Amino acid sequence: MPFVGAFRSAALGAVLALLATAAHAQGPGRAAIASPHGQATAAAGQILAQGGNAFDAAIAVSAALAVVEPYGSGLGGGGFFLLREAGQTPRYRFLDARERAPGGATEDMYLKQGKVSPGLSINGALAAAIPGLPQALAELAATHGKLPLKDSLAPAIRLANQGFTVDRIYRDRATMRLSALRDDPESARLFLLNNQVPPLGAFIRQPELAHTLQRIADDGRDGFYRGVLAEQLVDGIREAGGIWTLDDLANYRTVWREPLRFNLANQRQLISSPPPSAGGVALAQSLAMLQRLPWQSAEPVQRSHYVIEVLRRAYRDRGLLGDPDYVSNPINRLLARNYLTGLADSIDVYQATPSSTLAPAPAWREGDHTTHFAVIDADGNAVSATLSVNLPFGAAFTVPGSGVVLNNEMDDFAADPHGSNSYGLAGSQANAVAAGKRPLSSMSPSFIESPTQLASFGTPGGSRIPSMVLLSVMGFLEGRPVSEWPATARYHHQYLPDVVEHEPGTFSAVQTAELEARGYRLKDLGRSYGNQQVLYWDKAAGTLEAASDPRGVGEAVIAP
């Protein structure tokens, strides 16, 4: 009898193992998380351990980042969520939670005496668009989550109440915006110490933010966009010179859009962000042009030449795009094979193409401090999300008593579409300020999928996002180790200004001289930039990997 019992136990174990294998037949059987902060990664892990899926985990990461990265994202901002729904044929969806201009916004609201007034769209309450993140969290829980919203928000609520420690990234971002933070008493109280940047290891507690998160946990979107908190937000903003109304909040909606999809070589497909992101288009154009060029066999300077030239051409088209609810975007033309072939064929093999010789297009400016994360669960559901408040600490204005740091995404509009904005760049009518409109963005959460592989890419970095993602995707296409994708040395060209920006050490002295001889102007930024988070599932080998950018303080983990 013991033998029979043991046999039955073994048989039962085999059946259970078979069932588990079948349950994960379309997934990796394990989960992976890559986020820019260890506390956010831990929050996602807690939710997965409670039985949540990747979408629940994405809610937990987003809310935790709102606490520990007030400089990068938050309830006062928005973002883009690219979703992969597991199945025999995976389904991709794109949740646009980009902020919207208030109903009282006008095309000339940042002009004084016909000229852009520096600062109005950057600091203070007037710079803030209506946030989208709270709605997105409620929407994800309602449409895709397995757990109640309150469960997925619980780790962030604990974090806000208990506090987190200041790290080097926090100090760097707070230093960048110190003057603006000092100008707002509530922001200074919450995020500074005696009006100075807090030292490493200092504790930041946000009980008001915890209370706001609890309202959303209890009442969903209405906890933020209606009722007591909505009135508190509008009163605080209008007292500080902003133009929000209760109707602006009540009428805010996220939008489900079709992701941008573009076929690459070897049965691979790029799935990325559609407008109001211009990043997906730029990434697809760049990859299509590179496919016609021998970049993989080229020596380093020649490879950089190819990359710079495809970026120059892809970025030129950005000014043609805008909020698809307000303008007609020429996506089909920009991604037409004959058009992209012509762009690739116009590249001189050895010499730079001066941007002045290409057909003109509007230039633009965008804040470069956002945040990004990626998560995949055991079944193969996955989320790649880029969130933002625009500049570090957004508008550097916190609505008193709410803990909500406002974005300054209004600065992503063309402040003067008929002239130039405060950065001296030509405007774009497609991205002009209009009531209810979403500003153009470069945020590019992306997947590349084939029958045997799935890779996820994304980073903060404003206008440099598509170039950073492109460099990481090239690492994937070459088969380099996953850890190298986010670590790749970075350089960037965006059509105008006609200059190659790069991190220190990207090019040697000899390489710099060779590039300059080809006609390039190089600019060492004197600092690193970006904070990429990547995932890789090798379906054929059954392996799962994740990596976090070594420039940041993030954490990538593989979970049971």
Q: Which of 214, 334, 228 is nearest to 274 (CA)?
A: 334
Is pTM beyond 0.85? Reply is yes
Identified catalytic residue from 41, 370, 459, 488? 370
Determine the pLDDT at residue 168: 97
Q: Which domain holds residue 320?
A: 269-366+462-539
Task: Provide the pairing of β-strand 500-502 with 522-524.
Answer: parallel
Asked, for residue 310, whether it belongs to a domain, the answer is yes
Asked, for residue 491, whether it belongs to a domain, the answer is yes
Are the CB atoms for 461 and 469 separated by under 8 Å?
no
Q: How many domains does the chain have?
A: 1
Q: What is the DSSP letter of 483?
A: G
Cα separation, 164 vs 66, whole angstroms: 12
Determine the pLDDT at residue 110: 87
Asked, for residue 256, whether it belongs to a domain, the answer is no
pLDDT in tens, the chain (560 residues): 332 333 233 333 433 333 334 344 589 999 999 999 999 999 999 999 999 999 999 999 999 999 999 999 999 999 999 999 999 999 999 999 999 999 999 988 988 777 777 688 899 999 999 999 999 999 999 999 999 999 999 999 999 999 999 999 999 999 999 999 999 999 999 999 999 999 999 999 999 999 999 999 999 999 999 999 999 999 999 999 999 999 999 999 999 999 999 999 999 999 999 999 999 999 999 999 999 999 999 999 999 999 999 999 999 988 788 899 998 999 999 999 999 999 999 999 999 999 999 987 765 556 666 899 999 999 999 999 999 999 999 999 999 999 999 999 998 886 655 544 333 334 467 788 889 999 989 999 999 999 999 999 999 999 999 999 999 999 999 999 999 999 999 999 999 999 999 999 999 999 999 999 999 999 999 999 999 999 999 999 999 999 999 999 999 999 87
Task: Provide the pairing of β-strand 370-376 with 522-524.
Answer: unpaired
Asked, for residue 476, whether it belongs to a domain, the answer is yes
Cα separation, 50 vs 42, whole angstroms: 12
Q: Which amino acid is at 285?
A: Q
Asked, for residue 197, whether it belongs to a domain, the answer is no
Asked, for residue 303, whether it belongs to a domain, the answer is yes
Query: What is the DSSP secondary-structure string of 402-456?
Result: T--BPP-GGGGSBS-TTSB-TTS-B--GGGB--TTPPPPB----EEEE-SSEEEE
Asked, for residue 50, whether it belongs to a domain, the answer is no
Cα separation, 551 vs 29, whole angstroms: 30
Cα separation, 65 vs 318, whole angstroms: 29
Cα separation, 434 vs 457, whole angstroms: 31
Tokens 């970049």 appear where?
Answer: 295
Asked, for residue 492, whether it belongs to a domain, the answer is yes
Determine the pLDDT at residue 364: 57
- Check which CATH number belongs to the domain holding 310 and give it: 1.10.246.130
Q: Is 370 a catalytic residue?
A: yes
Report how far Cα 23 is from the mean position of its chain's Cα atoms: 31
Helices assigned H by DSSP within 69-184: 133-143, 149-162, 168-176, 178-183
In the sheet that holds 31-35, the strands lie side by side as 255-257, 91-97, 78-85, 382-388, 370-376, 31-35, 555-559
Are the CB atoms for 96 and 78 separated by under 8 Å?
no
Q: What is the DSSP letter of 78?
A: E
Are the CB atoms for 211 and 399 separated by under 8 Å?
no
Determine the pLDDT at residue 360: 76
